[in-house]
Amino acid sequence: MKRRAKVLLATAAAVAVASATAFFALPAGAETATFTVTNSWNSGYQGQVTVSNESSSAINTWKVELTLPSGTTVGQAWSSSMSVAGNTYTFTPAGWNATIAGGAATSFGFIVNGTGRPTSCLVNGKACTGLGVPTSPSATGSPSATASPSSSPSASRSSSPSATASPSSSPSASRTSSPSASPSVTPSVTQPPAGTTPVAINGQLKVCGTKLCNAQGAAVQLKGMSTHGLQWFPSCYTDSSLDVLANEWNADLFRISMYVQEGGYETNPSGFTSQVNNLVEKATARGLYALIDFHTLTPGDPNYNLERAKTFFREVSAKHASKNNVIYEIANEPNGVSWAQIKSYAEQVIPVIRTNDPDAVVIVGSRGWSSLGVSEGSTSSEIVSNPVNAANIMYAFHFYAASHKDNYRAEVEKAAASIPLFVTEFGSVDYTGGGAVDTASTNTWLDLLDRLKISYANWTFSDASEGSAALKPGTCNAGSFSGTGSLTESGALIRNRIRA
């Protein structure tokens, strides 16, 4: 199954990023804690606390208590559980990060509404010291732009120092990027990136908490399209068609779906690898993010293709290691297999990619055809309680609007509070890829993803004879992709949502 997506920049602060750091030391052999402001805007900032264990024995749990001045509050936090009493915010482990081995550390982050920095700190009940951080964002400097909250979705490709930006908790944001500061005590302001493409504006993506973030640390939402099987529709993915996706659809993302079975990679590994590499280059030339999809479906156990996956990802990650626009999806739709088996596969494939490309975001498929387990009677709790042991990763979720409705949406809303999600495939029709377009359910889904800032790719940018295809039959051979005359009902609906 395949779906499509478009890039929607989340809030970038239009003021400089401050990197004010305070170090709180406890007696020798105990914990230490480091507070850092990682992003700042006129009405708030993003903070991070790193708890370190400088002893030789493991710490079995930890608790950080931060007291903020009146009028300053914490709006959300990640990689921790948070409670509040008055002006004191207590952070405890998320579960997976409770134990800190000797010489190791763990971090959590949070968004603060207001400009006041912490006035006191406790780590495991012991007083912290050295809270020498600025109490006003004026210490960070400010360019001419102003930052203001915004709830209206926009998708401007313009990039200008005078453009306004909204804080990253806003449900939508424009493509306009903000200046940022380098991480030093004396902040310096950099100008917005040159160019107006999604990659020029956002740069190397990374996972921050439960969000996908750009190089400046602002949450982003990518929207775009997925190919169909490369073995069936090669004429759909040409310079002309990608020009239309980039310039008329205003897409941010191009998902390259390479089937492994069904006449795909296993029949000609070098040929399909070359085809994927060529499409990555086409996406790169247009400033689009390229999502490389190792499209496994049957059999459903990704371990069946483990050695093929290692070979493929070793080759493509080496080829594209110097690029900042490549995302890796290592198993499309695991099914009929336990989460433990999927996790084991991921923990063997991810190091292969990391050897060549340590910075790229990697997406791991979930149980039940990447339904977070819902389609097989499970829930996302199995992932939350036993996450993949790797950094900078996200988890895939797939849906087809006519088949997957409220119970699936409820699971996504719940899961998104704990783990980073990426809808790497969705359709406007039923789960077969066919049937009538369910406009109401599709819009409900996309409204939810926009609100949660979850990126997505629509299945499918092809002229297949099925309801999910965006193009009318015969379009690809004709080679005419521009305008709306060649679009199906699904194509017109998704194009409008991406361009909105």
Residues forming the active site: 333, 425
Straight-line distance from the first to the last Cα atom of the chain, in angstroms, rounded to the nearest whole number = 25
Question: What is the rounded CA–CA span in Å between residue 189 and residue 73?
Answer: 26
The answer to whether 194 and 161 have CB atoms below 8 angstroms apart is no
CB neighbours of 305 closer than 8 A, spacing ≥ 6?
260, 266, 294, 296
224: helix, strand or coil: strand
Question: What is the rounded CA–CA span in Å between residue 201 and residue 216?
Answer: 10
Q: How many helices (H) and strands (E) does the chain have?
A: 11, 23
Residue whose C-alpha is closest to residue 251's, from 222, 279, 208, 215: 222
Residue appearing with tokens 């002006």: 87
Question: What is the rounded CA–CA span in Å between residue 332 and residue 179?
Answer: 36
Q: Is 13 exposed, middle or buried (0-12, 13-18, 19+ CB in 10 A)?
A: buried
Residue 274: in which H helix or E strand, if any? helix 269-285
The answer to whether 378 and 339 have CB atoms below 8 angstroms apart is yes
Instruction: Kindly report each contact of residues 83-91 with a partner whose C-beta sits within 8 Å and lies 24 or more positions away, as own/partner.
Output: 89/65, 90/63, 90/64, 90/65, 91/49, 91/63, 91/64, 91/65, 91/66
- Identify the bridge partners of residue 363 per DSSP, sorted by sequence position: 329, 394
